[in-house]
Amino acid sequence: MGKQKADEAKFKEKVFEAVRSIPRGKVATYSDIAKKAGSPAAARAVGNILHTNCDKLGTPCYRVVNSMGKLSQNYAFGGVEEQAWLLECDGIEISDFKVDLTKYRI
C-alpha cells in the first residue's frame, strides 16, 4: 500500500528521468522538471535533489537552469564555468552565464 517514503522516492526518480529526458542542445528550468515530476511547485526540491545526488554521469543536471536561464549560482558540478562549457558542448550558446530560454527551452 502506498507508503509516503515510496512516493518521495518516486518523485526523485521522476525528477532524474525528466532531467535525463532533456534532449541534447536544449535546457529545462527547475520548474519544468518539477512539473514533469508531478509537483509544479517543487522547483526548490528539484534543486535539492540534484544537489544531493549530483549524478552528472547518468543525469545531465547541467542542462537544468533557473527561470531566468541563468546557471547555478552556488557551487555545482565544479563551478558555473564547467556547466557553461558542457552546455556549449551541447551546442548551446552561453552569454554571461545565461542561456536564451526562448531558443533553448524545451
Partner DNA sequence: TAGATGACTCACA
Partner DNA sequence: ATGTGAGCCATCT
Binding site for DNA (CB under 7 A): 8-9, 11-12, 29-31, 39, 41-54, 61, 64, 66-68, 72-77
Q: Shortest approach of DNA to residue 44 CB, angstroms? A: 4
Question: CA-CA distance, 9 to 85, in Å (whole number)?
Answer: 31
If the CB atoms of residues 38 and 91 are measured against DNA, the closer one turns out to be: 38
Is-catalytic flag, 89? no
Angstrom distance (rounded) from CA 34 to CA 41? 7
Measured from the CB atom, the residue of 12 and 36 that comes closer to DNA is: 12
Question: C-alpha cell of 48?
Answer: 535539492
In whole angstroms, what is the distance from residue 104 CA to residue 84 CA? 14
Looking at beta carbons only, is 24 or 67 nearer to DNA?
Answer: 67
Candidate list 28, 34, 61, 101, residue with the active-site label = 61
Q: 82 with 3: CB under 8 angstroms?
A: no
Catalytic amino acids?
A: 61
